[in-house]
Amino acid sequence: MEVVKNFFKKYKKYILIGLAVGLTVGLIAFWEVKSRSEIGADPKNKELLSPFWDLLDHPTLSLPSDIVIYTEEEIPVYDILPYKGNVLKIIQKFDENIEITSDTSNLIETENILASYTENVGVLEVYLKTHAFTFTVKNNQDVSNLIKGIFGYETNQESIVMKRIEENIIFQGRYLVESSSKEEFGSMQIDSYAYRIETEKDGSVKRIVILLYNNNSINTYSVYPPVSIREGLKKGNAYYTKPLYQDFDKEDFSGLEFLKYFSRTKSVSVRKTSKVYILPDYNYSYLYPTYVIEGDAKLEDFLGNSHIGESLIYVLAIDSQYLKKSVEELEPISN
């Protein structure tokens, strides 16, 4: 004990200095970790590139009183990463004779299928020429089993949309952002849906169009105060897709395509509004909270003829003060 006392007495000054330095470093480390933890847990209002700046002249919408709105004080935008696996391994599930290689060709054709993959938008399309693929789809449960079994994604059975086109049936649905939530997301490339499955009347799959992404890559990028549909439209934070005509003959498809781009939308009768997270493409790599407006459009072509079409409008649900129109407008990220 006497040895310890003498040691402390001799080196007292250095021991106290060491303790003070250690305490200071410890406090700095504590506050740094705390600060980073708070930023990571609650990243608010980070600058964001808007995908929906549409400067074209469009008619004023007549919105119903029962439109959906985001009622939360803050809503998230999510990061999402493109699919990183070999797409051929997915395509092989539709035709086992396909050889797995490192070839990234966009178009693959065999006697059983015709498949294409557009990497920058993440959309895979498979057209089945024969009935070699024996999985049948007749109801929402079958759709869920196909999406989970072949692609590994979760879908919300309750929101799957089914419609008949002549003798075929089309199922359309969206993915769940998280398996425990009801938030759904889809792609602008598939009219706000994550997949579209076309079947014959016996349930045989005829065609699949589906968004691919890296599973488990979805994380919160930042949170923002939401705005209403009206506010989003007022700020021009919207994108109007070209209406698809309903009153043209199928045999006059070339005429439809020509007139489609030389017509003006006179009015839109809104049928439905939805809250959906949208992936524009992987140049953005975000899931944006969006109002999706479906309606019937009255159009007039350059000859003065009137037509009826289906209209689809995307309205961003984020306060425009946090949005930028171009990459150049974003603040540089400091290291």
At which of 181, 211, 241 does a domain end? 211
In the block, residue with structure tokens 């952002």: 177
- Where in 146-283 does DSSP place strands (E)? 161-165, 168-173, 175-176, 184-187, 195-199, 205-211, 219-224, 238-240, 244-245, 263-279
Q: Which residue has the higher pLDDT, 170 or 319?
A: 170
At which of 211, 229, 247 does a domain end? 211
At which of 179, 211, 243 does a domain end? 211
**CA separation (Å) from 35 to 32, 39, 117, 197, 219?**
5, 6, 43, 47, 20
Does 232 lie in the same domain as 119?
A: no
Does 229 lie in the same domain as 191?
A: no
**∠ at Cα 206 (203, 210), nearest 5°?**
105
Residue type at 57 in one-letter notation: D
Whether the pLDDT of residue 76 is over 90: the answer is yes
In three-state secondary structure terms, 72 is: coil
In the block, residue with structure tokens 């021991």: 15
Q: What is the model's pLDDT at position 31?
A: 45
Domain-located, residue 149: yes
Q: What is the model's pLDDT at position 262?
A: 63
Joined together, the tokens standing for residue 197 give 């499955």
Does 53 lie in the same domain as 75?
A: yes
Q: What is the model's pLDDT at position 68?
A: 86
Q: Which residue has the higher pLDDT, 140 or 70?
A: 140
Does 92 lie in the same domain as 201?
A: yes
Domain-located, residue 128: yes
Does 92 lie in the same domain as 66?
A: no
Instruction: Quote the number of domains for the chain.
Output: 3
pTM for this model (two decimals)? 0.79
Write the pLDDT tens digit of every residue in 94-134: 998 888 776 656 788 899 999 999 999 999 999 999 998 99
Mean pLDDT, to the nearest integer, of 3-18?
51
Domain-located, residue 334: no
Write the pLDDT tens digit of every residue in 195-239: 999 999 999 999 999 999 999 899 999 999 999 998 888 888 888
Does 63 lie in the same domain as 17?
A: no
Strand (E) or helix (H) holding 307? strand 306-316
Q: Which domain holds residue 318?
A: 48-79+219-325
Domain-located, residue 69: yes
Does 307 lie in the same domain as 228?
A: yes
Q: What is the model's pLDDT at position 225?
A: 94
Write the pLDDT tens digit of every residue in 253-310: 444 555 555 677 778 888 889 999 999 999 989 999 999 999 888 877 777 777 778 8
Q: Which residue has the higher pLDDT, 65 or 124?
A: 124
Whether the pLDDT of residue 40 is over 60: the answer is no
Does 321 lie in the same domain as 225?
A: yes
Helices (H) and strands (E) in the chain, counts: 5, 18
Strands 168-173 and 195-199: antiparallel
Joined together, the tokens standing for residue 275 give 């809250």
Does 249 lie in the same domain as 136?
A: no
Does 300 lie in the same domain as 197?
A: no
Does 196 lie in the same domain as 113?
A: yes
Write the pLDDT tens digit of every residue in 153-210: 999 888 899 999 888 999 999 999 987 678 999 999 999 999 999 999 999 999 999 9
Whether the pLDDT of residue 10 is over 90: the answer is no
Domain-located, residue 148: yes
What is the C-alpha separation between 137 and 173, in angstroms, rounded? 14
Q: Which residue has the higher pLDDT, 186 or 23?
A: 186
Domain-located, residue 131: yes
Of the candidates 273, 283, 243, the one whose C-alpha atom is nearest the C-alpha of residue 259 is: 243
